[in-house]
Amino acid sequence: MSFSQALSGLRAAATNLNVVGNNIANAQTVGFKSSGVQFSDVYANSQGGLGTRVSDIVQNFNEGNLETTNRTMDLAITGNGFFRFMAGDEVMYSRNGQLTMTNDGYMVNAQGARLTGYPAGAAIGSQPQELRIPSGGLQAQPTNEIAASFNLDARSGNIDRGAVPFDRNDPDSYHYANTVSVYDSLGRQYSALMYFSKVGDNQWEVRLSRNGDLAPEVGEITFDSNGLLQGTNGLDGFTFAPGGGANDMSVAFDVQGTTQFANEFELNNLQQDGYTSGTLVRVAIDDEGNIIGTYTNEQSQNLGTIALASFRNMEGLRAIGDNGWSETADSGAPILGLAGQGQFGSIASGVVEQSNVDLTQELVALIIAQRNYQANAQSIKTQDEVLQATVNLR
């Protein structure tokens, strides 16, 4: 026996105590991954050996439990992947998705590192960029199309246009009318009326007015003998001139799904694609990492997509503190992708990933490490007593 074996055991046990203590200290740290110490023996030419050494400190990247916070900007990855952040010019990776938004729109972690991904319109698969929520509002969009489906009553009598010209103020000159809101290029809202007149067997005339201004175009819908839509004509552009600085409007009318049965007139579906301008009121993140902005005009828009990263050897990553890792030659280059695609897990909003530390297991490991330390200290004490006995021989 020599002091060197016992000293190596003390050093290894001290390292083990430090690692276990660090695990326990981070049992409540969001996104923390526990570590474990691996030991190896030291041999020289002698079969007695020269003690032990720490061969490696291995990180455990098993997923932690998810804790609900109901906070939109708290994110967790359910499955494989890391969030990718820019801390100045340095790239860091983390499982901690506790984010806030800066006054200039960047999504950052507690250390101010900026989340990266693909802004709206950027090519997916290109180099991820720092995600920034635009501060400007959503520009107004004029109505370009009305999509609607009706049942037009087949029992209606035919109107002879030669005898009864169309007059929007004369309900006897048409059979059915319905209203929809439309918007011009400045976001001004108007009430548009759709008029339907049966002018022949299985043949209907369609007209459109805006705030009383009748479009000059006349559309046509025809049905087969079973009451199903057979064809349309002239529905691709009803024109209006709103004035007041707005662009002229051309509104297409899509009537797919419209029928002609011997039932009451009925509206089954009605949509249009225009809206007024709006300001951003809230941001949500879906399970694919899409950042969805909702505006005061009740419209929503994709503002960007969060990028995820993975590594062939996660245990090769270098821990840099603040719940972050950096790539190394051992980890390999990052593999970038999107949540829910390929090897990547999905993103959950309103939850965080807890530390994967098993506190009970670590407390047991702490006791074992302490006993190991004490045993090696006792070994030194015993060696000292042996040396003292040798010195005292006469």
pLDDT in tens, 210-219: 998 999 999 9
Q: Are residues 255 and 189 in the same domain?
A: yes
**What is the distance between the alpha carbons of residues 368 and 38, in angstroms, rounded to a whole number?**
14
* Longest pairwise C-alpha distance within the chain: 142
pLDDT at site 389 = 67
**Together in a domain, 155 and 248:** yes
User: Same domain, yes or no, for 157 and 222?
Assistant: yes
Mean pLDDT, the chain, rounded, equals 91
179/202 same-domain check: yes
Question: 42: which 2 tokens?
Answer: 């030291």
Range of the domain at 78: 66-137+279-353
pLDDT for 124 equals 85
Query: Domain ends where: 223, 254, 272?
Result: 272
Token pair, residue 224, equals 């087969």
> Once rounded to an integer, what is the mean pLDDT over residues 181-201?
97
CATH of residue 205's domain is 2.60.98.20
pLDDT tens by residue, 329-385: 999 999 999 999 999 999 999 999 999 999 898 899 889 888 877 877 777 666 656
End-of-domain residue from the set 228, 248, 272: 272
Q: How many domains does the chain have?
A: 3
Mean pLDDT of 112-128: 91
Within this chain, do residues 182 and 295 fall inside the same structural domain, yes or no? no
Higher pLDDT, 80 or 389: 80
Please check whether residues 304 and 368 belong to one and the same domain.
no
Q: State whether 171 and 231 are in the same domain.
A: yes
Residues 58 and 73 in one domain: no
CA-to-CA separations, 354 to 100, 126, 190, 204, in angstroms, rounded: 18, 31, 52, 64
**CA 85, CA 92: separation in Å to the nearest integer?**
5
Nearest to 344 by CA among 312, 308, 306, 313: 308
Record the pTM. 0.79
Distance CA 188, CA 181 (A): 10
> pLDDT per residue over 208-243, tens digit each?
999 989 999 999 999 999 999 999 999 999 999 999
Whether residue 264 sits in one domain with residue 190: yes
pLDDT of residue 373: 75
pLDDT of 394 strictly over 60 = no
Q: How far apart are CA 24 and CA 366, in angstroms?
A: 9
The proportion of the chain whose per-residue pLDDT surpasses 70, expressed as a percent, equals: 93
Q: Select from 240, 272, 304 the last residue of a domain.
A: 272
pLDDT digit string (tens) for 272-331? 999 999 999 999 999 999 999 999 999 999 999 999 999 999 999 999 999 999 999 999
What's the pLDDT score for residue 49?
62
47-84: per-residue pLDDT in tens? 666 677 777 888 999 999 999 999 999 999 999 999 99
Compute the distance between CA of residue 73 and CA of residue 87 in angstroms, rounded to an integer.
Answer: 19
3-state SS of the chain is CCHHHHHHHHHHHHHHHHHHHHHHHCCCCCCCCCEEEEEEECCCCCCCCCCEEEEEEEECCCCCCEEECCCCCEEEEECCCEEEEEECCEEEEECCEECEECCCCEEECCCCCEEEEEECCCCCCCCCEECECCCCCECCECCCEEEEEEECCCCCCCCCCCCCCCCCCCHHHCCEEEEEEEECCCCCEEEEEEEEEEEECCEEEEEEEECCEECCCCEEEEECCCCEEEEEECCCCEEECCCCCCCCEEEEEECCCCECCCCCCEEEEEEECCECCECEEEEEECCCCEEEEEECCCCEEEEEEEEEEECCCHHHCEEEECCEEECCCCCCCCEEEECCCCCCCEEEECEEECCCCCHHHHHHHHHHHHHHHHHHHHHHHHHHHHHHHHHCCC
Let me know whether 117 and 149 are in one domain: no
pLDDT 10s digits, 132-176: 998 888 999 999 999 999 999 999 999 999 999 999 999 999 999
223 and 174 in a common domain? yes
Co-location of 205 and 254 in the same domain: yes
By the 8 A CB rule, do 72 and 352 touch?
A: no
